[in-house]
Structure 1
Amino acid sequence: MLKRSSNTLFAVSRTKLSSKIAIAYLHNTPLRQRQPSVPTPPQKKIKSLEDLVNLNSLDGVDTELIRSLINERTTELNIKNELDMLKKLSEEEERGHESPAKKFIRPLWMFILMGSSVYLLLHFTWWKLEHDKRESNLKRKVEALECQLNELIIQDKNHDSSKINDNAEMTHTKPWYRKWFW
């Protein structure tokens, strides 16, 4: 059988259990049926409830001592509970003194970060579209200039071939060394 004392569990042997039952029986029996008990001195000095648990029997232990030990432990636990409650109250009070702006700092940062992300994404998309538009305009201009250049080259070839024919007729009339001087 397990017995709970403060925050720890102790195993209670059958002899301790039977002695407790005997004490309960002794207190419930009438005085004339009681046998005189010889008080046995405790084996060691009792200073706490744990010392009582370690005893084989409670015979010879003063009930006032047991009562005072129980009362001491009860007051210790009550004081501990009150201190814990005071700590909780002081923590809640400190939380109450915090500025209300602290509640909105994290959501504000999240809003700024998300807004910046969306802005950068949209700005990049806009920049990409503008780049594609400008690139297509420049390609059209390059194609137009290439067509114009090809037309000029063809015209120049036609013009050169007509000059060559004219020059061929003139070259037969003038000597070659005069072409250098006009």
Structure 2
Amino acid sequence: MLLMRGEDLMGWAERARPGDTIAYARDHITPSLAAQTRPMIDAGIIIPLFTRDRGEGVYLAKRGEGRIARVKRRQAQVRNDGRFRRKPRRSIEGVLLRILRHAASHNRPCPTNRELARACNLSDDKSASYRMRCLVKAGYIAVEDHSPFGRRVITILTGKYAGMKTAEAALPMMP
């Protein structure tokens, strides 16, 4: 049985002094509460304790010496479902985003999927197309124009390059 939610426990930790103790759950802890308390435990804000009271398990939190600011900064990156946001700069999508930003800032046309696949060491142009769809779904870019005879026009939606577009250009004709 839950006595407190993760947000309530954080509020208590902000007001409590080091050494103060509070019961936040009885009998068992839900996975969502465990995910919410893990950053506080890692930062040393709370120290988890367990005791038994009349045959029931009681989960206690003892206020540690950790600073609240570390957890609040980390919680800003947490999605609503509790998973940590994947940073695009540390992935293939991040490399693609850098290439697109460079093209937009220098008023160049958007690279084709084959060119993107070659630049990112992907297996084929379908892999690059999938990664581009991931960037669109994540809200980093928008595809303005995608005609069969010309290159697509990409608009950057985030960062200091927000609003910049790649140049329009025709695809080279095949012999």
Q: TM-score range by the shorter chain?
A: under 0.3
Taking structure 2 as the reference length, the TM-score comes to 0.19
TM-score scaled by structure 1? 0.18
Larger Rg computed on CA atoms = 1
Say which structure, 1 or 2, has more relative contact order (CA 8 Å, 6+ apart). Answer: 2
